[in-house]
Amino acid sequence: MKLENRIAIVTGGSSGIGRGIALEFAREGARVAVADIRENPRQGKYHEQDTVSTTVSEIEALGGESIFVQTDLADEAAVTRLLETTVKRFGGVDILVNNAGIHIPGNSQEISMDDWDRVTGLNLRGVFLAIKVSVPYLRKSDSGRIINISSIHAFAGGAGPAYASAKAAVANLSRDIALEVASDSVTVNTICPGYIETAMQDYLTEEDIEACRQGTPLPRFGLPRDIGRAAVFFASDDASWITGASLTVDGGWMASV
């Protein structure tokens, strides 16, 4: 197993992409702390309609070890508690996956400043906060990894000014932190998903979804497991000499842009 006995934190791990990453980590032998604002998974109107079991229960059914830690990524004390709880339970931290994020629709004239602050606050500030608190622990690991989940909208507009800006910033934040921690052999990489079948897509119309289907060259949408497998690669020894990289996992979407 590629991640046997490694200890991972996955933010936003109760649902969607985060859930997919946590499950794939567990399949590869990692012990996983699932951090989220709520433990029960979200159910969507297009995707994940029947998802009811918690991520922790699914990991335990696989024979793995996992804990849920309720965490508000906007709260520094809560993030500090997440790290302390994980270390107390498992003995350290080897992998941080910054997946938690939100999307609020609206162009520059429609989105309120409160919603701008909510989106950028979680999608960028929350990522930085988790990194800031985690780095002292990751430096102690023999296989320290930070994996940040961005989006194909880091490279192109279309998802609203707050979301696209924050996701682009995450990719560059990864490069900056990669330089900071390289001397400690900690790697920092970014995954940029395309359309993934999760409840987060609920804000779209059926016409929007069909347009996304037409814009994806491979003949299916992505699944949380697809991002999970990419995250396993970055977390494993196979990627020990890769840092500061951004990987698109998008069914070919960016190839045509």
Digit-coded pLDDT (tens) for 83-105: 999 999 999 999 999 999 999 98
| Predicted confidence band of residue 82 (pLDDT cuts 50, 70, 90) | very high
CATH number at residue 157: 3.40.50.720
- Whole-Å CA distances, 203 to 33, 84, 116, 118, 159: 29, 35, 16, 16, 11
State the catalytic residues: 163
Residue 243 lies in a domain: yes
For residues 152-159, give the mean pLDDT: 87
Residue 1 lies in a domain: no
Please check the confidence at residue 44 and state whether its pLDDT lies above 80.
no
Alpha-carbon span 142 to 56, nearest angstrom: 26
For residues 6-27, give the mean pLDDT: 97
Three-state DSSP class for 63? coil
- Whole-Å CA distances, 240 to 3, 127, 142: 13, 22, 11
36 Cβ contact partners less than 8 Å away, ≥ 6 residues apart? 11, 12, 13, 14, 15, 18, 68, 70, 71, 100
Please check the confidence at residue 9 and state whether its pLDDT lies above 90.
yes
Per the model's pLDDT, the better-predicted residue between 50 and 49 turns out to be: 50
* pLDDT for res 257: 73
Please choose, from the candidates 64, 61, 60, the residue with its C-alpha nearest in 3D space to the C-alpha of residue 1. 64
Alpha-carbon span 136 to 181, nearest angstrom: 10
Structural domain count, the chain: 1
* pLDDT for res 158: 79
* pLDDT for res 24: 98
pLDDT digit string (tens) for 167-187?
999 999 999 999 999 999 999
Range of the domain at 105: 7-256
* pLDDT for res 65: 98
Alpha-carbon span 230 to 88, nearest angstrom: 28
* pLDDT for res 202: 75
* pLDDT for res 66: 98
* pLDDT for res 45: 78
For residues 22-30, give the mean pLDDT: 98
Please check the confidence at residue 52 and state whether its pLDDT lies above 90.
no
Instruction: Provide the percentage of residues in the chain whose pLDDT is more than 70.
Output: 100
Asked whether the CA dihedral 124, 125, 129, 132 is positive or negative, the reply is: positive
What secondary structure letter does DSSP report for 152?
Answer: G
Please check the confidence at residue 17 and state whether its pLDDT lies above 90.
yes
- Whole-Å CA distances, 145 to 11, 162, 236: 14, 27, 9
Residue 2 lies in a domain: no
At 168, which helix (H) or strand (E)?
helix 161-181
Three-state DSSP class for 215? coil
